Amino acid sequence: MNVLNLSKLSLNEEKSGGFTLIELIIALTISLIIMASIYSAYLSQKRIQLAQHQVVVMQQNLRSAMTFLSSEIRMAGYKPYSSAENTGLVSASKGQIRFSWEKDSNTIAAGPDMDITYRFSIDDDSTPADGVADSGAASFKRSINGGSLQPVADHIVAVEFFYTLEDNTNNGVYDPPQKIDPSGSELDNIRAVTISLLARSPRKDPNFTNTLTYQSASGKSWGPYDDSYRRRILISTVKLRNIGL
């Protein structure tokens, strides 16, 4: 083997020796950057997905609670023809409502079949009950015929019942009085109830900032909270079709 062939062999051995240390470091660095970008995008999508899920849960919670409340409050005062029971609104305040209705046409007054109360428990909304959960959020509850309170909706921040009374002004303009705390003598004059429900997400989101103020139907301001919880408010008016007939 001559000198020329030995030189070619040495050159070929150098070329087939693999990557240099610098090349490995560069390749590893690029790989780490790509992996970090992928992981960052994954975390971002995960946060968005979690936030959207919490908003969906919160909105479903609000809608189901409002549907339940509206359908039952609408029944207040109902009783079949010839029924002897006295039904209607039993008590009405900004933070709770109690009403009754009759299912059948009993001619002997034995009390309404349904006596419903909606409110926070005393532990969650201490006296005087203002319709705002003392701890920030609590289960809004329902009682039937004096039984124990059972949850209707969770993570409720505040509730307000705003009452529209019959327009007896006779001034040619429909301008019925609206009250947050009607007196006992005004219960039979209530024609509609506007319900305001404020709910919050089940968990905090440390990347979320909320400085909004939420306004109830009566103009009451709730917030700002700035505590990393998402919130939604839902307002609906229920006409009392069985009262004042």
CA 45 from centre of chain: 24
Residues of the chain falling short of pLDDT 70 = 1-18, 245
pTM of the model: 0.80
Q: What is the pLDDT of residue 73?
A: 96
Residue-wise DSSP of 67-97: HHHHHHHTTTT---TT-----EEEEE-SS-E
Q: What is the pLDDT of residue 12?
A: 53
Beta bridge partners of 197: 159, 234
Q: What is the pLDDT of residue 203?
A: 87
Strands 221-222, 231-239: pairing kind? unpaired
Count H helices and E strands in the chain, helices first: 2, 10
Output the six-digit token pair for 83. Answer: 């029924």
92-124: burial string, b at 16+ Cβ within 10 Å, e else: bbbbbbbbbbbeeebeeeeebbbbbbbbbbeeb
Task: For 111-176, give the secondary structure using H, E and C.
Answer: CCCEEEEEECCCCCCCCCCCCECCCCCEEEEEEECCCCCEEEEEEEEEEEEEEEECCCCCCCCCCC
Q: For the chain, what are the domain ranges?
A: 49-239
The whole-angstrom separation of Cα 121 and Cα 10 is 89
Q: What is the pLDDT of residue 183?
A: 94
Could you report the per-residue pLDDT of 129-179, keeping only the tens digit for each?
Answer: 899 999 999 999 999 999 999 999 999 999 999 999 998 877 778 788 999
| Closest C-alpha among 125, 131, 121 to residue 158 | 131
Output the six-digit token pair for 123. Answer: 């532990």
The whole-angstrom separation of Cα 42 and Cα 39 is 5
